[in-house]
Structure 1
Amino acid sequence: MSTLRLSQEERDHLALLQRPASEVVELCKSAFDYLVNGPNLERYELLAKKCSGSVESATIQHAVEALISLLIHVTTNMSEHSNIRQLLPELGEDVQEVLEQFVNSKRSFVEGSIKSANIRAYRLVNLEWRLEVRTASRCLLQQSNVVITMKLYLHTEPKNENRELLEIDTTERSERELSAMQEDERRHRKDLLVQTDVSSLLHMIRSLEDALAESKSRRIRNIVDAIH
């Protein structure tokens, strides 16, 4: 059985758990809400006011993120509950029981999320596009319809960006080898033809930019680092 380990920074953030069990329960609830919906700064400010002693909202958020790391570490390492007690012996018995309940109840959610993340989804490896403009017709003398046609080349296997992505080198290959390679390419490749207008294309671009920005956030980095 692998040993459960946390970074020193995570340990420092988990030091906030040395408080009444009722407050730790609220932190655990906030940690799961973080996993599902992302950070909730207003909730952290409210918890900071409710917590005993002088606590800042940023400290609450760091503790919540450390709880997420603890949950993922325990799940991925298949550690038993006793490891949590050994890892955080400074916590009271009632707080350790809260953490055990938190980990046990949310383990299946994390396992399902990890399995979903490991699905070999299609990746975009190439893109061809064409701009079509209809400037006029017999019905309307003044008309401007802009349509963008895109052909997306998708693949489930990572590709070397320094070579042609979608062609197979046929030099010095037997027919059997080429047939096997082409069959493998068909099994992992998917071509998708998409046609859209300018407004829809702009909406897709904004959505992709938002997703890219979210992927660089602390929340996503913490989750990815804990999984890997």
Structure 2
Amino acid sequence: KLSVSSDTIQHGVEGLTYLLAESSKLMISELDFQESISALGFSEELNNLLLQLYSDNRKEIRAILSELAPELPSYHNLEWRLDVQLASRSLRQQVRPSVTMKLHLTQHGDRDTRVLQTDPATLLHLAQQLERALDEMKTSHCGRVVRNIK
């Protein structure tokens, strides 16, 4: 009926879905949404229809997006123990330290326990990498990325 290919229709629907989902995710105002779609070169009537569609369905789209987001386990508690093997039958002068951690996680109200064991050097390296990641999050570039993701 429209005299266009199915690929064109599919791309149009995907583009409209992306526009509405991203706009709802970022909770942009109606004025910002109108400025964004005016750059697309549509007619004034179509711009007003898109604005009306966005303002009518913004909350429902956000609710659907929040249901689709994966819920990751969250930290509840951590128990740890330092073990040191001082000697064995074959080696009398041996020192092998290890750190055993019992990580308690919560997901959907259920508790889960994970036991991890590592040597202190690997644990120190992991802590340094996490500290670097935290420092990286403080940069202005990461701040812009995080704001755009939310």
Query: TM-score category by the smaller chain?
Result: 0.5 to 0.7
- Residues 156 and 220 (structure 1), Cα distance of their counterparts in 2 relative to 1, 3 Å cut: farther
Q: How many Å separate the matches in 1 of 2:116 and 2:131?
A: 19
Q: What is the alpha-carbon root mean square deviation over aligned residues?
A: 3.6
Identity rate, percent: 33
> Is residue 134 of structure 2 the alignment partner of residue 134 of structure 1?
no
- Residues 215 and 222 (structure 1), Cα distance of their counterparts in 2 relative to 1, 3 Å cut: same
Q: How many Å separate the matches in 1 of 2:134 and 2:76?
A: 17
Q: How many Å separate the matches in 1 of 2:85 and 2:126?
A: 23
Name the count of aligned residue pairs: 104
Question: By percentage of residues, which structure has more strand?
Answer: 2
Give the corresponding residue for 1:36: none
Give the corresponding residue for 1:202: 124
Structure with higher RCO (Cα < 8 A, 6+ apart): 1
Q: What TM-score comes out, normalization by structure 1 length?
A: 0.37
Give the corresponding residue for 1:224: 146
Give 1:125 shift. 1.8
> What SS class does the counterpart of residue 153 from structure 1 fall into?
strand
Q: What TM-score comes out, normalization by structure 2 length?
A: 0.54
Give the corresponding residue for 1:211: 133
Q: Which residues of structure 1 form unaligned runs of 5+?
A: 1-71, 87-95, 98-113, 158-184
> What SS class does the counterpart of residue 202 from structure 1 fall into?
helix
Q: Is the 8 A contact 1:129 1:148 kept in 2?
A: yes
Q: Is the 8 A contact 1:148 1:196 kept in 2?
A: yes
* Pairs within 5 Å for 1:16-55: none
Give 1:138 shift. 2.0
Which residue identity does 1:212 align to in structure 2? L
Match of 1:143 among 80, 89, 94: 94
Q: Is the 8 A contact 1:73 1:227 kept in 2?
A: no
